[in-house]
Amino acid sequence: MMASNEDHPHGDETVGGAEREIKRGITVMKKVIRDRDRGVLIKVHWNEGGQLIEPNGSTLTSFIGALVRNEVPITCDNWRNKQLNEAKDKIWSEIKRCFDIEENRRDHCLKLAGKLLRGFRTFLSTTFLRDTEGTFVDAELPSKYASLISPKEWETFKSKRKTQEFKSVSETNRQRASSPAYPYRKGRVGYGRLEQSILTKENSSETSLPAHVLWKEARVGKDGKIKEDVQQIFEKCETLSQSIVPYEDTDCRSILSRALDVPEYSGRVRGKGFGITQKSLNIKKQKTPSNKELQQTLEALKAEVLELRKERERDRAAGFKDTSDKDSINCNFQPTIPEGISPCHLYLARPTYRMVGKGKVHNNLGELLHTKPLPTGSLKVSVDIALEKDALLPHPDDVSDATLLGDAIGSFVAWPTDLIIVGYETPTKSKAKDKGIAREIESVASQKEIPVAKKTEISKRTGAKKKNPSKYRACLHTYLETTDISDGCVRLIPMDGAIFGFEYAEPLGKEDFDQILYHTQLSVGVINTYMRYLYDKLMGPRGLEQRFSFLNPMKTNLTEMIRKPDEVRTYVVERFMADTDREKLFFLPFNTGDGGHWLLVVINPFKEIVYYLDSLHKDWTTYPAMKTIVDTIIQTVRAQRKIQVPKRKANNITWNRVECPRQRNNIDCGYYTLRFMKETLLMDRTDIPSDYFDEYRCAYYSKDQLDEIKEELCQFIIELQVL
């Protein structure tokens, strides 16, 4: 099994014969104990995926192996047994005494302990209870382990290995592990530390590697050679990664699993190793354009802005002129587009601003379309390539009855002038066709093949693709340059009544946009806009409105609670009472007013539970006015629902402080609050674990995770077409 190859099963032994093992002795981690006695905590490090890495990753692993062998008997077959809770608590307590480690790493360390215990039991069976032919041997307790294993435990352990049930399972596992198709060749080096060494050696700015790249590197031998079958799988992954269009992809398997043609497993991520779960890397994202398409859109927007600036300068230089003669000649002739026939990109603005095709624009005086005048504000174009065949034509063709772009290939249609970008080269035949890749699954941006030499060079270096984390922010920045936002004007974001319980328009001005573009403290306007994004993109499509809801932070901040407590109570009680027959979570992004710190309060009025998520790791006692108001609201709802409780339990409202990721500066609190809401919705759970969700648990959010929030905001604002 691959998992057993990632880290040695028991941390400090090497399987290779009983004699050798006895000579070595038992690992007791003296250095760790000496440091502990001196009051020195050993710092451990983690990669972006939450895996142990160096320095001190292997030290902690070996220490956990020594602890679990001392604290848990080898007769334990079920690591989830509640009778082991005391031993697990002791193991975690000892880890914290010796290592500088966050509380939210407990789950990872205990899972690793369970894995190491299983490996130790396997080692004992293989080394002492089987001969060279695999036949069971009734061996005595090895003297080496007499301090760890009692004679009674050893006899019980042997008796379990004699049963027919165990022999059957053991034989199946042995056959499966004896001849893997693509054996792991890095010994005790786990995937996490392997990835770290590759990135360090390559001096790469990337924080992680694609799974198929890491998988290939894990199968390179000491001689540096790669077997042909492994290289073939890797090249197949490279081809798939270039040809798959993410937002059209319906296969939930990873690139590596598709290349290997095997199913995914819920307990692990293929090619990533211990500590990374399938759910954390398999979140379904909203359909988004490819990087190439966004880059072309950005370049087109920049060119358009430059042309608008030039036109404005020409107008200023010419002064005020009477344009009535010009208008009367032909309102469809556009001086900003070259006269005559020019190649062009064709865009649509709804539901998102995107390129949908390529063709040629005919900008001539008196130009007609099928002997009829062109619609006002449009030009005649011939459609050569349809990147979205199902895109609706902005002006359906009455002559051919064409309504879709794919039906208009080779014919003339009318296209709005402001959605025509002049300038492109007709692409040559794609090499992808020769490789058997259908034209429909090429990148919808330019459908040009990536040069083979360049792709090979990248693959040899790290295999990691260059990230473009700010594509939507760049687009939004370009949009804003053409507006009057900088002059103090605002844009209104419509808020449906279902989001906060009342309908209104949220104003966004230059300050708000700058917060997203330049990563500064978030305002309530930006927070509310992102909640509308969550409502539109997550809650609506997934049918989560029955389980989750929002409270408007403008009506429920600390200032309002102190100045207008009755109004706050009335608003929240009405929201709660609208859904009294079902369990539901209400998100309250709470602004403390002392420097604008954001935290998240999540209320389950049905069960009278309040979850408190503060990225500064404070608790609710810091804000007593807020807690008093929330408790009073829940008690009011209880009374209106006519729930009877004993007087002594009237104040028994449960407050749970969640060990959520922690911010590392005084700016990120708003972004953390937004991620807490998003991740809770993605989990679709009406309870939040006290140590946060396994799938998203980390010490702090990375730059990419915070950039993801900004990218979603920018894309959403562009899609709303409020600019």
Residue 514 contacts residue 340 (beta carbons within 8 Å): no
**Cα separations in angstroms, 644 against 44, 647, 648, 650:** 51, 9, 12, 9
Tokens (6 digits) for 722? 């409020």
Q: Report the distance separating Cα 425 and Cα 384, nearest Å.
A: 12
Q: What is the pLDDT of residues 492-545, one digit of tens each?
A: 999 999 999 999 999 999 889 999 988 888 999 999 999 999 999 999 999 999
Q: Report the distance separating Cα 720 and Cα 723, nearest Å.
A: 8
Give the pLDDT band (50/70/90) at residue 655: very high
Q: Report the distance separating Cα 292 and Cα 290, nearest Å.
A: 5
Q: What is the pLDDT of residues 662-711, one digit of tens each?
A: 998 778 999 999 999 999 999 999 999 999 999 999 988 988 899 899 99
Residue 335 has what pLDDT?
64
Q: Between 85-98 and 30-37, two packed helices, what is the crossing angle to 10 degrees?
A: 70
Residue 627 has what pLDDT?
93
Neighbouring C-alpha atoms within 13 Å toward the C-beta of 487: 4
Residue 184 contacts residue 2 (beta carbons within 8 Å): yes
Q: Measure CA 297 to chain center.
A: 24
Kindly report the backbone phi and psi dihedral angles of residue 336, in degrees, each rounded to the nearest multiple of 5, phi listed first: -80, -10
Residue 656 has what pLDDT?
95
CA-nearest of 357, 320, 312 to 336 is 312
3-state secondary structure of 428: coil
Q: What is the mean pLDDT of residues 77-91?
A: 92
Kindly report the backbone phi and psi dihedral angles of residue 584, in degrees, each rounded to the nearest multiple of 5, phi listed first: -150, 145
Residue 654 contacts residue 620 (beta carbons within 8 Å): no
Q: What is the pLDDT of residues 25-38, one digit of tens each?
A: 577 788 999 999 89
Give the pLDDT band (50/70/90) at residue 368: confident
Ranked by mean pLDDT, which of 46-50, 198-202, 649-653, 684-688 comes out on top?
A: 684-688
The residue type found at 415 is W
pTM: 0.42
* Of residues 677 and 221, more confidently modeled: 677
Cβ density class 399-415: b for 16+ within 10 Å, e for less: eeebeebebbbeebbbb
Q: Looking at the DSSP assignment, which residues form a beta bridge with residue 106?
A: none
Is the preceding omega at residue 351 within 30 degrees of 0, hence cis? yes
Q: What is the pLDDT of residues 641-654, one digit of tens each?
A: 888 776 666 678 99
Residue 149 has what pLDDT?
93
For residues 383, 386, 392, 393, the Cα torsion angle rounded to the nearest 10 degrees is -10
Residue 150 has what pLDDT?
92
Residue 690 has what pLDDT?
94
Q: Percent helix, strand and coil across the chain, each rounded to 5?
A: 45, 15, 40
Q: Report the distance separating Cα 590 and Cα 51, nearest Å.
A: 32
Instruction: List the beta strands (DSSP E) in 558-687.
Output: 585-591, 598-604, 609-613, 654-657
Residue 74 contacts residue 149 (beta carbons within 8 Å): yes
* Of residues 137 and 179, more confidently modeled: 137
* Of residues 604 and 667, more confidently modeled: 604
